[in-house]
Amino acid sequence: MRILITGGAGFIGSHLAERCLREGWTVSVIDDLSTGSFENIAHLKGCPTFDYTIDTVFNAPLVSELIDGCDLVFHLAAAVGVRLVVDSPVRTIETNIHGTEVVLNAAAKKGKRVVIASTSEVYGKSAKVPFREEDDLVMGPTSIGRWSYACSKALDEFLGLAYFYEKHVPVTVIRLFNTVGPRQTARYGMVLPTFVRQALLHEPITVFGDGKQRRCFGYVLDVVEALARIAKSPQTAGEIINIGNDQEISIGGLAGQVRAQLGSSSEIVFIPYKDAYGEGFEDMLRRIPSVAKLERLVGFRPHTPLPAIIDAVAQEMTAREAVASCTAAATSAPEAILEHA
């Protein structure tokens, strides 16, 4: 099978590329590196069944050419992270909606299969847990910026399913719930890498809000396994499928667990939402997926426990910092020699 991954140099996309290559598939990646990183895929360059393109999914002729050469598209390119969503709402809406339009339009011309990555954010302020794919979506007002992300991803879903029903494009929508693991950056407000980085540096661990909000964290390798199984299951076309771990923990509890597990001396500090994101920011108390549909359709559910995920994130982050320190030392060495010559 020939696979195209938009956003393939991102956190999830790069792990997905590795998983697809292990399956024996040919993998192409397109990414503009706005939130992804070439470092995530650099180790794949020598693989004869892997290639990459540094460009945007807004480049319709290029995307059309790439889709012509594949059997299935994983459309992961999107705005990511609460911080980016709050700070750049225009970019969020344009990236999510227009990028999906380009991909679906190109796929429709040749009847290519598309898996669209959506998000648990589309459930909005619903208090009916666990969230099931057929549940109503409860959005906040348009005056609150964070809902632009949820609404834009919901529109992606409507668009994808419209292409499925009207143009017979085999589209599957997957809703991701707090995917975490190695390579995830803390740059855009991702909570687990932020807590791990702060704990490793013995800096204050910053919890936004009162810490009572509860979330479920799915390991990225579990998530890409689910995606690979969906790719091999044509019967998932036309479906919306939750992907995530259904074991929940409070964010305050997560901070405490990270601190204890990493043996950190960090203080846990609570920061009001208005100081972190500005006045009017809204959050949801609980967000728990039902993964019954995923298990029924592909015979798999995410299962990696949180302590193992924290260890994996900390080990990768420590290794990355060690490499960066060695690189910095090697770069400055000639200058040091000259200074003492």
**Is the pLDDT assigned to residue 298 strictly greater than 70?**
yes
Rounded CA gap, 163 and 160, in Å? 5
Q: Are 174 and 116 in contact (CB under 8 A)?
A: yes
SS3 state of residue 249: strand
Rounded to an integer, the average pLDDT of 300-306 is 96
Q: Is residue 50 part of a domain?
A: yes
* Residue pointed to by tokens 């705005």: 79
Instruction: Write down the pLDDT at residue 338.
Output: 43
* Residue pointed to by tokens 């964010």: 251
Instruction: Write down the pLDDT at residue 85.
Output: 62
Instruction: Write down the pLDDT at residue 97.
Output: 92
Q: Is residue 78 part of a domain?
A: yes
Helix then strand count (H, E) for the chain reads 11, 14
Q: Is residue 310 part of a domain?
A: no
Q: Is residue 333 part of a domain?
A: no
Instruction: Write down the pLDDT at residue 165.
Output: 97
**Is the pLDDT assigned to residue 303 strictly greater than 90?**
yes
Q: Which two tokens stand for residue 81?
A: 């992270």
Rounded to an integer, the average pLDDT of 40-52 is 97
Least confident of 90-99, 292-301, 302-311: 90-99
Q: Which two tokens stand for residue 29?
A: 């990646």
Rounded CA gap, 150 and 144, in Å? 11
**Is the pLDDT assigned to residue 199 strictly greater than 50?**
yes
Percent of all residues in the chain with a pLDDT value above 90, rounded to a whole number: 79
pLDDT tens column, 307-317: 999 999 999 99
Q: Are 241 and 175 in contact (CB under 8 A)?
A: yes
Instruction: Write down the pLDDT at residue 281.
Output: 76
Rounded CA gap, 144 and 131, in Å? 22
pLDDT tens column, 101-151: 999 999 999 999 999 999 999 999 999 999 999 999 999 888 887 788 889
SS3 state of residue 60: helix
Q: Where are the beta strands (DSSP E) in the chain?
A: 2-6, 26-31, 50-54, 72-75, 113-119, 171-176, 179-180, 205-208, 214-216, 218-219, 240-243, 248-250, 268-271, 286-287
Rounded to an integer, the average pLDDT of 270-284 is 83
Q: Specify the CATH number for the domain of residue 115.
A: 3.40.50.720
This prediction's pTM: 0.91
Instruction: Write down the pLDDT at residue 78.
Output: 80
For residue 244, give the H/E element and its range. Answer: none
Q: Is residue 223 part of a domain?
A: yes
Rounded to an integer, the average pLDDT of 188-214 is 94
Instruction: Write down the pLDDT at residue 340.
Output: 41
278-287 per-residue burial string, b: 16 or more CB within 10 A, e: under 16: eeebeebebb
Instruction: Write down the pLDDT at residue 186.
Output: 78
Q: Is residue 339 part of a domain?
A: no
Phi and psi torsions of 322, nearest 5° = -65, -45
Residue tagged active-site, from 149, 163, 188, 219? 149
Percent of all residues in the chain with a pLDDT value above 70, rounded to a whole number: 91
Nearest to 37 by CA among 285, 232, 320: 320
pLDDT tens column, 257-269: 999 999 999 999 9
Instruction: Write down the pLDDT at residue 341.
Output: 36
Instruction: Write down the pLDDT at residue 77.
Output: 92
Instruction: Write down the pLDDT at residue 328.
Output: 63
- 186 or 275: which carries more pLDDT confidence? 275
**What's the total number of domains in the chain?**
1
Q: Which two tokens stand for residue 105?
A: 């339009």
Look at the chain and count its residues: 341
Query: Sign (positive/negative) of CA torsion 224, 228, 231, 234?
Result: negative
Domain hosting residue 129, numbered range: 2-180+218-246+285-305
SS3 state of residue 2: strand
Rounded to an integer, the average pLDDT of 58-63 is 97
* Residue pointed to by tokens 């589309």: 122
Nearest to 217 by CA among 302, 126, 131, 122: 302
Which pLDDT band, with edges at 50, 70 and 90, does 59 fall under? very high
Q: Is 149 a catalytic residue?
A: yes
Residue 268, Cβ neighbours under 10 Å: how many? 18
Side chain identity at residue 213, one-letter code: Q
Instruction: Write down the pLDDT at residue 327.
Output: 63
Rounded to an integer, the average pLDDT of 246-272 is 97
Q: Is residue 279 part of a domain?
A: no
Instruction: Write down the pLDDT at residue 337.
Output: 43
Q: Which residues contact residue 337 at a Cβ distance below 8 angstroms, ignoring those fewer than 6 apart? A: none
Instruction: Write down the pLDDT at residue 283.
Output: 82
Q: Is residue 204 part of a domain?
A: no
